[in-house]
Structure 1
Amino acid sequence: MFKMEMLVNKGGTKPLAHMILIGLMVLLFATASPAAADPYLGGIDLTTANGTYGTVTGDLWFDAYPGFDYAYTTPVFLNSTLPCDPDDVAWARLYVDVYIGHMENNYPLKVTTKFDGDGTGGSGYATLGTEIMDTTYTFPYNNGQGPIWINDHCNRVTSDFLIWYDVDDSISSSSVSTRVNVSTPDGTQPLDGRVKMITLVVAYNNQSCKVTHYWVNQGHDTDSYRTDDDGYPYTGNTTFNTSAVYSPGEANLTVLPLASFNGNYTFNNNQQLTWANPHQGSYFEWQSWNVTNLISSGINSYMTYNRNEDDNRPQYSGYFKLPLTLLTVEDESYIYDFSNNTLGRAGTGLLAYKFQTSSLPATVNNDPNNEFSVTEYSKIKYDDGQFQCNIAADDNYAAHRFVFNVSCSNVSNLDAINVTWNGKGLNDAGNGVTVYIWNYNTSAYEQLTTCNDAAEQTLTGEKTANLSNYINGDKLVTILAEQNSKTSREDDSKIYTDYVKLVLKQ
């Protein structure tokens, strides 16, 4: 088991729902930049869109089976103990890689993957899928097809059959197990079919006073001496949107290559990453680096990779393949939203209230005071198009009020209080929404940002001076979003909130 210290969309927005991901996965891979794939053998470049990005209050962790064993008569197992309670799993994906036996020939395989997410074993195993690979592979250099998509969650690149499943909804225990069987489509023993790799990657929360941004960049890219020998030297690359991190802290990078020997890597400004060759498996390994000093605020990060081309070294690699790269960056600012993947918890430390106020803005900081239900809280977790809508009574303004308990923060060290609200405000008498913050010193709301548009808007406002005025002695910050016009006999005041976030920058 391997925990990536500082190793879900931006600001707590959730990665796309699993069904949407499945529906888009083939398109995402098919439209990936061809310049980022080996022009000789073919490959699928590593991107965050193919994997995921998010935030958690815990970390990103993985466990791996690195063997190279046959799984025909006896299954190959990966038994894992998670570093968290099952309820704290934010995202989890299981990867299986099986060796076909040849880079081009068709040696059909049937791979059955079962997962025990409740720790009971035996009958607790549920079949995630039975995938069949029954196709040749042709190199792109000779007008061949290159990567073969079996379906939207498995593909063939040269001699590897890579499969993955999202399993966060299948985990109900901290002890989980994976079982893989390999045969041919007719159930007989395959020519090869050894299991190179089983890897479980989990992003989890643990309610520490920190937020960690994590990236899983996924692909199936390769590099070989053939490319170099034919005059097409190749270096792969992948990008992480680390500009989303407000105040970068500790950062860790991990690669998980499917190769007999490690490759060469650079990270940000072509900084060479030194490596060992740990040989966790015959054709699978992993390597991690602390890259804290290589992350810059407001700038995306960039990693390159290729095979070790020096055939005078004992670690010389004729072929090199990379399906996964993991990055975590701790954010030293304090981030709060209602997703449960940032600081605080909806309905306890983070509260939301609905309906209306009688003035614009309200003159008190406890109006409205009708708390959201559990279902209503779920609608404002992520910037995902699910709106909580409320309509004001006659002569009132539709409004939502948000109270954030920021007890994790050190008020004296803050540089700014930043608020983001996404939604819309509708009223034929005057569309739009205004967002306010309560000043505990003057006992009045102050405007942060406003719009008069009927369309969905993302509004952002910030305070950078006298910040203690906006955080009371109980470490509470109060935000109010109001529709700009009151309800009348002719027109209704309606407010729609999709997402709201508070960031205390330092």
Structure 2
Amino acid sequence: MEKILMFKKENSIKIGGTTPIAPLLLLGALVLLFAIASPAAADPYLGGVPLITANGTYGTVTGDLWFDAYPGFDQAYPDPVHWETTLPCDPDDIVWARLYVDTYIGHMENNYPQNVTTEFNGSGSSYETLGSESMNTEYKFYLAGTGGAGSGPVWITNHSNRVTSDFLIWYDVTDNITSSTVSTNVSVTNLIGEAPFESRVKAIVLVVAYNNQSCNVTHYWVAQGHDTDSYKTDGIFSPYTGGFPHPYKGNTTFNTSVVYTPGEANLTVLPLASFNGNYTFNSDDDQLPWANPGQGEYFQWQSWNVTTNVTSGNDSYMTYDRNATDSGTYSGYFKIPLALLTVEDKSLIYDFSNETLGRAGICMFAYKKEASGLPPSVSNDPDDEFSGTEYDEIKYDDGVFAEHYTDTYEKRAAHRFVFNVSCCNDLSNFDSINVTWNGAGWHDAGGNSNGAYLYIWNGTGYEELDNCDGDGNENYLTGGITNNLGNYIINNNVTVLAEQKTEDDDYHSHIATDYVKLWLKKV
């Protein structure tokens, strides 16, 4: 009998399991995204690409988000600028990695053509050319002279742009890294391979998100743009704009509301400026303190612990602005391409993806097909383990289902899940065990024979957490345990069962799982 998913997919909400973000958006969509950016969203005189995580990435890891940088300002002709760094992780644990290169053009508006070639050695033995990007364009401010309109940011490719005097390029290198020591060579020439007007490299930055199977889950955000701010518009009276001031303060939002129980949080900014800017985080007035870092002539970074600024259930935002007087004292110009945020989730979250605690088939298991009784009287029924393909089907809440049906009389279709929660060695730190299952249970007889039940094993038998009795469509079944948590953790394992309601009576019983998650919430 062919297995067919016999239910209508309802509107669903994402309640766990981070779907991996593609290293680059679809090329056309990305170009369009920036092409339609409103001038009001950037410095109203110079223009710029605002910082947003859609340009960078968001995800979860059991490790951390790490970066290292070459701060410049060396010539990349005739010899390339060389930079080497050592990763804090095994290459196999890298989830996301992006390399950024910024070169100086020599003028905010004039066209001084550059060809920037980036070679990357992620294997520890040989270099590969990531790209050779050619910039051959002038830059037009949004407001020129007394108000004439300019184009602002210039997109050279889908992974490089010009904003005023900087040529910013980036490459996704997740799959290029097979060694813990990596190095980069950057060469800058004119378009015929000779000495350019300028060949200085302001910065090379490598950002890496990685797992290390520690007992914590970290949410990370990389907000990427190429935003800038200038004294030319911030003044009370500005001859550059015909006398009308256009003050600008940039901002970016991080969806920290996805963090169940926020723990330690860290914010890092990496500006391309000779003098640092002013920043706030989840506040319109309280400026984050800093001492001018000065790692490079026109590049620097600054980090803060912002744990007390992140609150459960709320998104976060950062503002950034040049640190200057109206006349341009301190920083006349300020530019920022990157802001990084990490927030630890103090809850221990387990699912079958690679972004939470545990690993499918190693310390977390799923078993399939059919079971006796509603619920079974033993904790190891069914006992036929999922295949690798079936594990992939339950990694994310994405509409991809692992489906099975009965072929034994008087049995019911069932999926059993075993989560090793050895990280929670001190149960006094937790106040609940919570389960979410997204799937469907239905019977060929239909009607009242449809439905599924969700159970948790308490050491002597199964307890019901939730059900969708009589409903064969996709449903979210959830439940939690708040008392005597130790009764539900047997040999470091928590066992959960999703079972279809009605036994096989020559009409088959079906179960389908899209996603399942268990998490222990900390006090």
Fold in common (TM above 0.5): yes
Letter in 1 for 2:437: W
**5+ unaligned residues in a row in structure 1: which ranges?**
1-8
- Residue 101 of structure 2 corresponds to residue 96 of structure 1: yes
Give the C-alpha shift of residue 232 in structure 1: 0.9
Q: In the alignment, residue 71 of structure 1 is paired with which amino acid?
A: A
Match of 2:423 in 1: 408
Going from structure 1 to structure 2, the CA distance change for 1:135 and 1:391 (only over 3 Å counts) comes to farther
Which residue is equivalent to 1:6?
none
Which residue identity lines up with residue 476 of structure 1 in the other structure?
N
| Local SS of the residue matching 2:299 | coil
2:294 alignment counterpart:
279
User: What is the total number of aligned residue pairs between the two structures?
Assistant: 492
Seen in structure 2, the aligned counterparts of structure 1 residues 171 and 484 have a Cα distance that, compared at 3 Å, is farther
Which of 262, 266, 278 aligns to 2:280? It is 266
* Pick aligned residue for 2:63 from 58, 70, 75: 58
Structure 1 position 159 matched with structure 2 position 165 = yes
Partner of 1:169: 175
Match of 2:212, as an amino acid?
N
Q: Which residue of 2 aligns with 1:140?
A: 142
Partner deviation per Cα, 1:423-442 (whole Å, 9 max, x = no partner): 44565544976352323255
Q: Deviations over 1:444-498 (max 9, x none)?
A: 23133548666655544333344333222x12111122345555656x5444333
Following superposition, the deviation at residue 338 of structure 1 comes to 2.0
Alignment of 1:257 with 2:271, yes or no, is: yes
Amino acid at match of 1:106: N
| 2:118 matched residue in structure 1 | 113
CA contact (8 A) 1:437 1:470 kept: no
1:233 aligns with 2:247: yes
Q: Does 1:68 align with 2:73?
A: yes
Q: Distance in 1 between matches of 2:420 and 2:499?
A: 21
Aligned to 1:421: 437
> 1:338-357 counterparts in 2 under 5 A?
338-357=352-371
Bigger Rg, structure 1 or 2: 2
Secondary structure of 1:376's match?
Answer: helix
Q: Which of the residues 115, 126, 129 maps onto 1:127?
A: 129
Once the two structures are superposed, what CA deviation does each residue of 1:351-408 show, in whole Å capped at 9, x if it has no partner?
1112222444434321221112233323333334443333332544333211111111
Distance across 1 between alignment mates of 2:73 and 2:21 = 33
State the partner residue of 2:83.
78
The 1:19–1:59 alpha-carbon spacing in structure 2 relative to 1, beyond 3 Å, is closer
| CA 1:467–1:36: 2 relative to 1, 3 Å | farther
Q: Which residue of 2 aligns with 1:461?
A: 479
Contact 1:10 1:55 in 2 (8 A): no
Match of 1:184 in 2: 190
Q: 1:451 & 1:280 partners in 2: Cα distance? A: 63
Change (3 A) 1:485 1:333: same
Distance of 2:453 and 2:113 partners within structure 1: 60
Identity %: 64
- 1:133 and 1:150 in contact (8 A); partners too: yes
Deviation at 1:28, TM superposition (A): 4.2
In 2 relative to 1, CA 295–186 (structure 1 residues): closer, same or farther, beyond 3 Å? same
Please say if residues 453 and 469 of structure 2, whose CA atoms lie closer than 8 Å, have aligned partners that are also in contact.
no
2:325 to 310, 318, 335: 310
What is the rounded CA distance, in whole Å, between the counterparts of 2:451 and 2:23 in structure 1? Answer: 32
- Are the aligned partners of 1:259 and 1:319 in contact in 2 as well (CA < 8 Å)? yes
**Distance in 2, Cα, partners of 1:133 & 1:448:** 60
Question: Which residue among 364, 378, 383 is the counterpart of 1:369?
Answer: 383
Instruction: Name the SS of the counterpart of 2:487 in structure 1.
Output: helix
**8 A contact 1:403–1:476 mirrored in 2:** yes
2:396 match: secondary structure:
coil
Alpha-carbon distance in structure 2 between the residues aligned to 1:291 and 1:118: 36
Could you tell me the TM-score, scaled by structure 2's length?
0.87
**5+ residue gaps in structure 2?**
1-13, 239-243
Q: Which moved more, 1:298-307 or 1:266-275?
A: 266-275
Alignment CA distance shift 1:244-1:194 (3 Å): same
| 1:191-206 map, 5 Å | 191-206=197-212
Change over 3 Å in CA distance of 1:454–1:164 after alignment to 2: farther
Q: Is the 8 A contact 1:89 1:203 kept in 2?
A: yes
CA–CA distance in 2 between the matches of 1:496 and 1:196? 53
8 Å CA contact 2:364–2:418 kept in 1: the answer is yes
Q: Which piece of structure 1 moves more, 353-362 or 140-149?
A: 353-362
Query: 1:385 and 1:76 mapped to 2: Cα distance?
Result: 47
Aligned CA distance change for structure 1 residues 441 and 403 (closer, same or farther; 3 Å)? closer
Q: 2:187, 2:332 → 1: CA distance?
A: 29
- Tell me the secondary structure at the aligned position of residue 415 of structure 1: strand
Output the amino acid matched with 1:445. E
Q: Is the 8 A contact 2:97 2:206 kept in 1?
A: yes
The farther-off stretch of 187-196 and 462-471 is 462-471
CA contact (8 A) 2:465 2:480 kept: no
The answer as to whether partners of 1:435 and 1:479 remain within 8 angstroms in 2 is no
Measured at CA, do residues 429 and 200 of structure 1 come closer, stay the same or move farther in structure 2, by a change above 3 Å? farther
Q: Deviations over 1:19-68 (max 9, x none)?
A: 65556433444566754322221111111121111111211110101111
Aligned to 2:257: 243
Other-structure match for 1:324 = 338
Inter-CA distance 456–46: structure 2 relative to 1 (3 Å threshold): farther
RMSD: 2.6
Letter aligned with residue 478 of structure 1: T
